[in-house]
């Protein structure tokens, strides 16, 4: 069982996210996580330079002596089912354009669709916010410069397949 922290927002397979304030959250890394937290930070910063689709990196910090934090902007998800189909189509068009821009720049999110053996909602990493659709959790994301062209293109193709599934889900509810 995962350790419960005060102000927990969510817990995944490897990390817990806690509320730090009304504007910031911290993704917690325990133990020797220098490579994990550094890799995720690098990918988030890269995506943030391309556009605003990926949650914004704020800083690295520590919660206590054995817990480091990746501090990000706090997003407040909204229920897309409360909005008209036409608005959802517009949000989705912008989302797709921003995702393609990330791909072109060399970033693949790789986690639009949750694996079937993972708890949570199918598209847990896509939030509808007041500024449109946003992506969270770049833990398994890939940069073309790190994985090479062949593997990156495979990741992009898988993501495009997941994008089509998300399109059907988002527009048919």
Question: What residue spans define the domains of the chain?
Answer: 8-73, 80-172
Q: What is the structure's pLDDT at 34?
A: 64
Return the CATH class of domain 8-73: alpha beta
DSSP 109: -
Name the pTM for this structure: 0.91
Q: What is the structure's pLDDT at 91?
A: 97
Superfamily classification of domain 80-172:
Transferase(Phosphotransferase) domain 1 (1.10.510.10)
Q: What is the structure's pLDDT at 164?
A: 96
Q: What is the structure's pLDDT at 99?
A: 98
Q: What is the mean pLDDT of each run of 10 residues along the chain (173 residues)?
A: 80 89 96 80 98 98 93 97 96 98 98 67 90 94 97 97 95 88
| Cα 14 to chain centroid, rounded | 14
Q: How many helices (H) and strands (E) does the chain have?
A: 4, 9
Q: What is the structure's pLDDT at 113?
A: 85
What is the spatial distance between Cα 58 and Cα 143, in angstroms, rounded to a whole number? 20
Are residues 151 and 102 in contact, defined by beta-carbon separation less than 8 angstroms?
no
DSSP H or E run through 62: strand 57-64
Q: What is the structure's pLDDT at 116?
A: 56
Q: What is the structure's pLDDT at 115?
A: 60
Helices 34-50 and 85-105 pack at an angle, to 10 degrees, of 110
């Amino acid at each position: 069982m995962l350790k419960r922290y005060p102000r927990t927002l969510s817990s995944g397979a490897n990390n817990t996210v806690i509320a730090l304030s009304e504007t910031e959250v911290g993704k917690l890394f325990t133990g020797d996580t220098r490579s994990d937290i550094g890799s995720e930070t690098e990918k988030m910063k890269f995506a943030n330079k391309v556009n605003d689709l990926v949650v914004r990196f704020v800083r690295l910090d520590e919660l206590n002596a054995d817990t480091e934090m990746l501090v990000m902007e706090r997003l407040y998800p909204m229920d897309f089912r409360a909005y008209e189909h036409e608005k959802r189509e517009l949000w989705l068009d912008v989302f797709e354009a921003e995702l393609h821009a990330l791909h072109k720049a060399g970033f693949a999110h790789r986690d639009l669709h949750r694996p079937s053996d993972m708890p949570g909602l199918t598209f847990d990493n896509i939030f509808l916010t007041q500024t449109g659709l946003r992506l969270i959790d770049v833990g398994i994301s890939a940069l073309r410069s790190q994985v090479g062209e062949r593997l990156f293109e495979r990741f992009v193709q898988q993501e495009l397949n997941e994008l089509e599934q998300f399109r059907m889900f988002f527009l048919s509810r």
